[in-house]
A and B are shown apart, each in its own frame.
Chain A
Amino acid sequence: MMKYQRRIFAYIHTLVPSRSDAEDILQETSLTICEKFSDFKEGTNFYSWACQIAYWKVRAARKKYATSKVLFNDEVLEVISQTRIEMEEELDHRHSALSKCLQKLNERDRRLVLVRYESGHNVKAAAQASGRTIQGAYKALTRIRKVLFDCVSLELSAQNI
């Protein structure tokens, strides 16, 4: 399950943009995977099976918490999920390419973005760690994410992916 952990979380996070809500749903999903593991047929695709569980957990969360945890309506969730599954291979490559792109950032920017994404941290913590104002950190993060996004796309183009 370890190698799928990140991918299942990424799948949920695509459907549920709030990180903490996505983590809650990941926990519920893991619990169900554990309980229903005997239903999983060996030789079939574990990731797809787990994503099905995750998908229904997201749908259930939407009913349970109204729209507080899940931003999108069922129709939007459906199309996102479908497209995401089609993009899995590309997303794996993007994940690997991101590692290279992070190394290309200058130290201050890399520190800002990684501190921002550490568990339990927010923009304020990242701003303090990189010696910026909060407003400055927001602007810098927007710029850095776009730089990384473009860098990853270029990496994939260079590899003909």
Chain B
Amino acid sequence: MKLSDEELITLFELLDGLIENNLPAEKKKILEAWITESEEARKHYIAYMDLSSSLQHYAEERVSDETPPAPVVHAGQRLIQFVNPWLPVAALLLFGAYIFLSYQTSDPLPINHRISRVGDGAQVASYKNTEADSVAVLTRSVGLRWSEDADSHPREHSSLPPSTLKIEHGMAQVEFVDGAVVVLEGPAVYELVHGNGSHLRLGKLRAHVPKVAVGFTVGLPLGEVVDLGTDFGIEVHPDSSAEVFVYNGKIKYQGQDIFGNQVSKDLTSRQAIHIRSDGEIYPLEMPNGDYLGSAELATRSFEQSQHRRSAWMNFTRKLFSRSDTRLYYGFDNHAKWDRVLKDETQREQGAGNGAVIGCNWTQGRWPGKGALQFSKSNDRVCLNLPGELKAVTMAAWVKLDQLSKPVSPLVFSRPYKKGAIGWSVNQEGQLILQVCSLDNEVNSYISPVAVTEERLGQWIHLATSYDSTNQWVSHFVNGRSFSREKIFNQQPVSFKKGLLGYSQAIPPFQKGIALHGCVDEFAIFGSAWEEDQIRELYEAGNPYGNSNSILSAQP
């Protein structure tokens, strides 16, 4: 039966209704009858639905081809233009809610497990409240180097408590919880006092204060600037003299001269003052050039991150050909719809490729680099690495959204029997290596707290080496040795049919456990790497740069 033109028109109307999910039940029956009885209608139906799938394919292809452009700053353009002051506030509120919930106690580890080492309880407790008093977030930096005598060396996306930031050189963008955004240019000494107040002791800053944060104050050596809704810049010199520039809006300067007399001055757009070291103030002409603003910082940050990415790519190419590299997932150069995770090693073509189940592709450590987002209960990557290894090193760049209960699985072998390996982070943030030595016995090697709450949402490098011959296991965090201990026996391990980001139900856990976070690099080496090798791996891939942040007390 050949369909008439009128019937074809009706058929396409039905197909459109079906695709847009607004086909009434009675019309669905008509369509069903047509599909069953008419081969021509059925073929039209199939071709039409296939067209819909193909459109989806091309739409996703187009999206993945659209690389986000670098921000462009034009002369005279208002510099601070992209900051949404509510975002950091909302993020911190959510973070606070998370911390509240995460105080719930975790399940104990399986009681039949032999635990060789447990994190120091005092250490765990000391990390717990770090978020509670946060007044700001370090959101961006370029070429940042902290002074050696600085109390802390926070990394990008760290929450900042009331404290003093000492910058030797480079730039940092700080977003206060009440909404003000400050770009600091080193050398600078800047004290964070509370969510809407600060003190500049030395150096330059540029502040953007949205209406919600009106009243933001910056203390100076001889007074303070109170914002009345504006963009302004300040420079404080080593002799305590200072300049204040108002680019837009209004500010009030109030201070004292050396005789104790009150000095006050209101400034509006395009006005500036010089405050001498004796406290007297004089009008100043506005300079032609602006201080660095957020948009410029974003541009420089983008350029710097691309430079780091390129260096990382050069470094990792060397890894592919190493004889002990058993598996290497760079998560790079994948299309958004790819369901195969490419193994970059020179093993038999495609033999180490992983099957991506459920996970979505997302941005990795640098703009344009890929990563897999594990968010749903079935998300995982199936991998296959045959054979047993007497020594092994696992290394991964991960960004955890939460410390899941009971663990955040990184990689687990299947089936979970003799020689199987499990690598995860528990709810306390401790890195755990589990090795099955017999069918019913699991040995757990647990580090002190490695992933603190303040590190959630940040890229972190985790690595663990296992050497069954020399009988030791080491955990590494951000390139530094975190714990090292003797192991119980000389059990070789196997990753056969492993799962990345997922653990199948292993007694006493009743069901499979999924990772909540992103992974953008994962490698398995067939030897036990030492700290200097892990450090090199970390430094090559560190998205935050290798300034003196490595001097931080914590790895």
Per the 8 Å Cβ criterion, residues 157-196 of B in contact with A are: none
Which of B20, B36, B50, B358 contacts A95 (CB under 8 A)?
A: B50
Per the 8 Å Cβ criterion, residues 72-107 of B in contact with A are: none
Q: A34-B382, A91-B50 are in contact. Are A17 and B337 (CB under 8 A)?
A: no
Is A1 a contact of B340 with CB atoms below 8 Å? yes
Q: A142 to B17: give the CA distance in the assembly, Å.
A: 9
Which of B62, B337, B355 contacts A114 (CB under 8 A)?
A: B62
Shortest Cβ gap from B31 to chain A (Å) = 9
Looking at chain A's contact residues, is the secondary structure mostly helix, strand, loop, or mixed? helix
Is B50 a contact of A145 with CB atoms below 8 Å? no
Is A98 a contact of B49 with CB atoms below 8 Å? no
Q: Mark B39-78, 1 if CB is under 8 A from A, else 0.
A: 1001101111111111111111011000000000000000
Please give, as numbers and ranges, the residues of chain B lying within 8 Å of A141 by CB-CB distance. Answer: 16, 20
Q: A38 to B454: give the CA distance in the assembly, Å.
A: 43
Which of B43, B58, B338, B357 contacts A102 (CB under 8 A)?
A: B58
B28 CB–A CB distance under 8 Å: yes
B339 CB–A CB distance under 8 Å: yes
Is B378 a contact of A114 with CB atoms below 8 Å? no
Which of B42, B49, B339 contacts A30 (CB under 8 A)?
A: B339
A127 CB–B CB distance under 8 Å: no
Is A2 a contact of B338 with CB atoms below 8 Å? yes
A31 CB–B CB distance under 8 Å: yes
Q: A30-B357, A149-B51 are in contact. Are A80 and B35 (CB under 8 A)?
A: yes
Q: A83 to B46: give the CA distance in the assembly, Å.
A: 8
Please give, as numbers and ranges, the residues of chain A lying within 8 Å of B127 by CB-CB distance. Answer: none
Shortest Cβ gap from A158 to chain B (Å) = 17
Per the 8 Å Cβ criterion, residues 57-74 of A in contact with B are: 71-73
Q: A117 to B57: give the CA distance in the assembly, Å.
A: 8
Is A87 a contact of B39 with CB atoms below 8 Å? no
Q: Report the count of interface residues on B (CB-CB < 8 A).
A: 43
Is B18 a contact of A17 with CB atoms below 8 Å? yes
Is B12 a contact of A146 with CB atoms below 8 Å? yes
A33 CB–B CB distance under 8 Å: yes
Q: A5-B337, A118-B59 are in contact. Are A149 and B355 (CB under 8 A)?
A: no
A25 CB–B CB distance under 8 Å: no
Please give, as numbers and ranges, the residues of chain A lying within 8 Å of B355 by CB-CB distance. Answer: 1, 30, 33-34, 37
Binding site for A on B (CB under 8 A): 12-13, 16, 18-21, 28, 32, 35-36, 39, 42-43, 45-60, 62-63, 336-340, 355-358, 378, 382
Not counting A18-B21, A98-B55, A116-B55, a sample of 20 additional A-B residue pairs whose C-beta atoms are within 8 angstroms of each other reads A1-B355, A6-B53, A6-B337, A9-B53, A27-B357, A27-B358, A30-B357, A37-B355, A71-B28, A73-B32, A84-B46, A91-B50, A94-B50, A98-B51, A114-B58, A114-B62, A118-B59, A145-B19, A145-B48, A149-B47
4 tightest Cβ-Cβ pairs between the two chains A and B: A117-B59, A10-B53, A2-B340, A34-B382
